[in-house]
Amino acid sequence: MKEYIESLGIIAPKAVYRNLSPARLVEHAILRGEGRLSATGALTVTTGKYTGRSPEDRFVVDTPDVHNEIDWGKVNVPISREKADNIYNKMTSYLQGREIFIFDGFAGADKQYSLPIRVINELASQNLFIHQLLVRPTEDELESFAPGFTIIAAPGFKCVPSVDGVHSEAAIIVDFEKRRVLIAGSQYAGEIKKSVFSVMNYILPHKDVFPMHCSANIGHDGDAALFFGLSGTGKTTLSADPTRYLIGDDEHGWSGTGVFNFEGGCYAKCINLSKEHEPEIYGAIRFGALVENVIMDENGEYDFNDSSLTENTRVGYPVTYIPNTKIPGVGSHPKTVIFLTADAFGVLPPISKLDKNMAMYHFVSGYTSKLAGTERGIKEPQTTFSTCFGAPFLPLHPSVYAEMLGKRIEEHNANVYLINTGWSGGPYGVGSRIKLPYTRAMVSAALNGELEKAEFVLHPVFNVYVPTSCPNVPDELLDARAMWADKEAYDKQAKLLASRFVENFKKYSNMPDYIVNAGPKA
């Protein structure tokens, strides 16, 4: 392995450690001063300047092979072959004479579509993270392991923007031609995880596999379901169902045979975490887990409510730390697809059904809303749109992913629902948050087929089908307008939100008319 490392340009490494156990990686991390153990045994680190992803520092190498495929713009920023290679040479020179940690694993629980990935780390703690987040190989698989993609993560290497052609000391450079990713300047482990996701979002559509930013679970009868949603919409909470098995919490593929988890682990938020409300995640913070930026006292006890370092406190752990998990993370074709949104305007119906074209429209839109008062200067709810519920990770044009969703919905006769986990009876500050038991009842009715027996009416503004009844949910709650005391105020607010949908969708050039016309009516 030393010869391999030197072939990359990392000459005379101090030591090369390949596929160490979590215990050994924890031992190295502590001896190297990278972190401390908590009272529960989790390795705890701080990530310095970068406590979250840095999308403005992400680049894609612009080469003739990919130039006409990549959806260039704010998300996919081009960097030249020359600049990328210069940074690669500087990074490998920086790593000379240092300890190197290597993990070989797979992205994709379905062996037919799994991508072998080699991750080369400067830090033992980051190597522990990716060991737990990827699908871990068997001994036999390691014997014949050949990387299909290589990721080199060196947080200690700092770019020089004026020389390297990047925006800051950090850079995440995805190179599809040379099948490698460079991560410089950032110790935030999520950059490694999401680089893998970006790669899969490019590779899998070429194999007619639909990559998805969603959670997934499966019932005892083998009926799989998908949950799409941005942060704060309830994706993790609602997919963690004690009556069903969790396939995965974040990234999946939908192939010709069914769905499969990309990962072998979870990367959960820790802010305001409590044993009472999220016992599974709370219990996963133990030996083998990596905790980032959570304040810990001298006795190793966490203060999950302390956001002094960041609101984005995180823990990475193997999916096997969560009870009721399906191993391997594969399932059948989904019978139900759920889009989650937390509408702080209080105007979207609590649940609505979407036909194929409506589903593609709302999938591309990826709507939720920020709350008034949660950020300085926000006086009213703010619309937030993230293309395909995963804008920062999509190398191809959104229409590619939308068409794949539509094709699968049609082929497998999947029911699609839009569920609002936000406000009812008025906007944030006036109305009230839709109660979780009601939302769970709607999800259950969608999953068990009971909702299909309901009568549906077309919403005149949002152009979605609204049920007039749902088991264990008050009928009046299902009519968003009826819940408002001031009906004219509802109409005005609904038109406002619809106009923002329409305005947002204008940015999607080359989107077919049948998708554009399936959206809200401003």
Q: What is the pLDDT of residue 378?
A: 46
The pLDDT tens digits of the residues spanning 389-439 come to 999 999 999 999 999 999 999 999 999 999 999 999 999 889 999 999 999
CA angle, 404 as apex, 399 and 405 as ends, to 5°?
100
Give the span between the Cα atoms of 191 and 58, in whole angstroms.
Answer: 10
Task: Based on DSSP, count helices (H) and strands (E) in the chain, helices before strands.
Answer: 15, 30
Q: Residue 379: its pLDDT value, please? A: 53
Helix axes 487-505, 356-365, angle to 10 degrees: 80
Specify the pLDDT at position 375.
41
Active site residues: 53, 194, 213, 231, 235-236, 250, 314
Helical residues (DSSP H) of 219-326, grouped into ranges: 235-239, 279-284
Beta strands 265-269 and 302-303 are: unpaired
pLDDT of residue 374: 39
Quote the pLDDT of residue 376. 40
For residue 437, the model assigns a pLDDT of 93
Which burial class, exposed, middle or buried, applies to 77 when counting CB atoms under 10 A from its CB (0-12, 13-18, 19+)? Answer: middle
Q: Calculate helix-pair angle for 124-133, 190-203, nearest 10 degrees.
A: 40
Q: pLDDT tens digits for 439-481?
A: 999 999 999 999 999 999 999 999 999 999 999 999 999 999 9
- Tell me the C-alpha to C-alpha distance, in Å, between residue 375 and each of 56, 152, 370, 371, 381: 21, 35, 9, 8, 11
Q: How far separated are the first and last CA of the chain, in Å rounded?
A: 61
- Cα distance between residue 398 and residue 420, in whole Å: 23
Mapped onto helix, strand or coil, the DSSP state of residue 317 is strand
CB 321 within 8 A of CB 240: no
For 272, left (φ over 0), alpha (ψ -120 to 50), or beta? left
- The 3-class SS string of 141-181 reads HHHCCCCCEEEEEECCCCCCHHHHCCCCCCEEEEECCCCEE
Distance from C-alpha of 494 to C-alpha of 347, rounded to nearest angstrom:
6
Decide: 321 and 284 in contact? Cβ < 8 Å.
yes
Q: Residue type at 468?
A: T
Provide the strand spans (E) within 332-487: 334-341, 351-354, 367-370, 382-385, 415-420, 423-424, 432-433, 456-458, 465-467
Q: How many CB atoms lie within 10 A of CB 223?
A: 18
pTM listed for this prediction = 0.93
Question: What amino acid occupies position 267?
Answer: Y
Q: Could you give phi then psi for residue 303, rounded to 5 degrees? A: -115, 90
Q: What is the structure's pLDDT at 372? A: 46
Residues in the chain with pLDDT < 50? 372-378
Q: What angle do CA 457, 458, 463 make, to 5 degrees?
A: 155
Place of tokens 């050949």: 146
CA atoms 354, 404, 338, 507: torsion sign: negative
- Per-position DSSP letters for 388-407, written without gaps between them: GG-GGG--S-HHHHHHHHHH
C-alpha 300: how far from chain center: 29
Side-chain half-sphere CA neighbours of 161 within 13 A: 7
